[in-house]
């Protein structure tokens, strides 16, 4: 059963309806990521119920010696969407009803909104603490305010500001170039989901709008952005061939993907090339693809054809391979030589070998002195007759050895 007493151990206030409801900005001191983040207060904050919360200091009341207590601790405002702030990022704190609301309707506690987009950066939006600076002049140089609200532009490989225990700044992490109507979700490391459409005629071009009509829907999921020889603060557009891993869900777009292999010699009528198809499709592109079924089957179904195309080989390792088809061509699409029925052929071939063996044995016994022709040679009559009959019988059944299903080159 859920332990409400343990969760409600976070101290709350009874100031609902007062000035404490005002939303105010605060600087993140430390995020509570695990029991070791602040073990001395972990239990007092509800133990694992505190994971994802942050210790903060009010921007309006900077503290040279920030504390780690329940009085300056806040949990995420939204339950099903996590955006854990980094150290020194700016958040908004809001006081709202706490877990004690069942017994005290005026009981409140602190919650936080996601970090403020101060630098308009997907990577981090931390700001140096003027009370507790780290890095001195070097840090100030990294964070020089540029007139006109331009983005922070770091060129020396990083910053000395504290961002967390494991987070290391990568200044070449770029945000995506938006297009009209886009809804974009971006991670801190070059991951993104873009809900977009065909957009022709925009100042910045994209690789999916060469055909179709503006507004044709497209969804792009990308993990790992490609490198560019541009300043890192210049936005980029996805590239399916150079991004690390991508999934494209298209409607009418022509995606210029460079397939690893496009040899379709087994086809009498080859399919449309991958980079020339402009219909509805799902494209997965990465360094390696793994399809794994943990408890049941993998089913591949197509209304037309299924193509397995590899630069090196196609390997199948299993206990049994079963193929049911009216026509199977091996070696070439125009293969016409029929395959032999192995069992039937081997049975008759074994009988032929027995007959030939009998002839050989009789001939060996019939070898005698010159001019001696009768008794030993008489034993050859029956084997020779059997050999003639069996060979004739095999010749009469030659067509039975030919498969009507499988052919080979």
More confident residue, 339 or 180: 180
The residue among 164 and 401 whose pLDDT is bigger is 164
DSSP assignment string, 26-90: EEEEEE--STTSSHHHHTTTTGGGGTT-EEEEETTS--SS---SGGGEEEES-SS---PPPTTBE
The domain locations on the chain are 1-169, 172-314, 339-408
Model confidence at 247: pLDDT above 80: yes
Instruction: Give the residue carrying structure tokens 């829907």.
Output: 217
Q: 163: which 2 tokens? A: 């961002």
Q: Which of 173, 255, 169, 240 is nearest to 210 (CA)?
A: 255
Confidence of residue 149 (pLDDT cuts 50, 70, 90): very low
Asked if residue 201 has pLDDT above 70, the reply is yes
Q: How confident is the model at residue 274 (pLDDT cuts 50, 70, 90)?
A: very high
pLDDT tier for residue 136 given thresholds of 50, 70 and 90:
very low
- Quick one: what percent of the chain has pLDDT higher than 90? 47
Confidence of residue 150 (pLDDT cuts 50, 70, 90): very low
Range among 122-126, 134-138, 393-397 with highest mean pLDDT value: 122-126
pLDDT digits (tens, 9 = 90+) for 42-77: 888 888 888 999 999 998 877 778 788 888 999 999
Q: Which tokens hold the place of 379?
A: 């034993």
- Closest by Cα among 39, 110, 40, 44 to 72: 110
Q: CB of 36 within 8 A of CB of 51?
A: no
Alpha-carbon distance of 73 to 347, in angstroms, equals 85
pLDDT of residue 69: 86
Name the average pLDDT for the chain. Answer: 83
Mean pLDDT of 276-281: 96
d(CA 241, CA 92): 40
- Judged against a pLDDT cut of 60, whether residue 163 lies above it is answered with yes
The mean pLDDT value for 373-379 works out to 56
Sheet holding 191-197, edge to edge: 183-186, 191-197, 217-223, 245-249, 282-285
Give the per-residue pLDDT at 378. 56
């Amino acid at each position: 059963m859920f332990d409400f007493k343990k969760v409600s151990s976070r101290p709350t206030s009874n100031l609902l309806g007062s000035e404490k409801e005002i939303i105010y900005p605060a600087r993140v001191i430390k995020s509570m990521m695990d029991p070791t983040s602040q073990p001395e207060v972990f239990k007092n904050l509800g133990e694992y119920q505190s994971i994802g919360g942050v210790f903060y200091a009010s921007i309006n009341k900077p503290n040279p010696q920030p504390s780690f207590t329940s009085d300056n601790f806040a949990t995420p405002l939204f339950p099903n969407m996590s955006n854990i702030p980094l150290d020194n990022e700016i958040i908004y704190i809001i006081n709202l009803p706490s877990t004690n609301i069942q017994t005290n309707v005026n009981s409140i506690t602190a919650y936080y909104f996601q970090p403020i987009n101060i630098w308009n950066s997907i990577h981090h939006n931390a700001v140096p603490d003027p009370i507790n600076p780290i890095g001195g002049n070097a840090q100030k140089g990294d964070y020089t305010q540029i007139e006109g609200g331009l983005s922070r532009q770091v060129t020396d490989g990083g910053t000395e500001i504290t961002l967390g225990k494991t987070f290391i700044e990568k200044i070449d992490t770029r945000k995506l170039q938006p297009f009209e109507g886009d809804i974009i979700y971006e991670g801190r490391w070059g991951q993104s989901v873009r809900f977009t459409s065909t957009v022709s005629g925009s100042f910045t071009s994209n690789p999916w709008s060469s055909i179709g009509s503006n507004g044709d829907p497209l969804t792009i999921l990308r993990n790992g952005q490609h490198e560019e020889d541009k300043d890192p603060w210049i936005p980029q557009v996805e590239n399916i061939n150079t991004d690390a891993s991508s999934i494209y869900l298209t409607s009418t777009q022509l995606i210029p993907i460079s397939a690893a292999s496009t040899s379709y010699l087994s086809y009498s009528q080859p399919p449309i090339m991958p980079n020339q198809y402009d219909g509805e499709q799902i494209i997965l592109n990465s360094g390696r693809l793994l399809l794994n079924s943990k408890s049941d089957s993998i089913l591949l179904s197509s209304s037309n054809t299924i193509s397995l195309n590899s630069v090196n080989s196609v390997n199948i390792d299993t206990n049994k391979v079963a193929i049911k088809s009216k026509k199977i061509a091996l070696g070439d699409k125009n293969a016409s030589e029929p395959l032999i029925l192995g069992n039937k052929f081997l049975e008759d071939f074994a009988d032929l070998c027995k007959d030939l063996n009998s002839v050989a044995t009789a001939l060996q016994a019939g070898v005698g002195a010159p001019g001696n022709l009768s008794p030993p040679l008489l034993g050859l009559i029956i084997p020779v007759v059997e050999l003639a009959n069996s060979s004739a019988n095999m010749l009469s059944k030659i067509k039975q050895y030919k498969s009507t299903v499988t052919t080979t080159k």
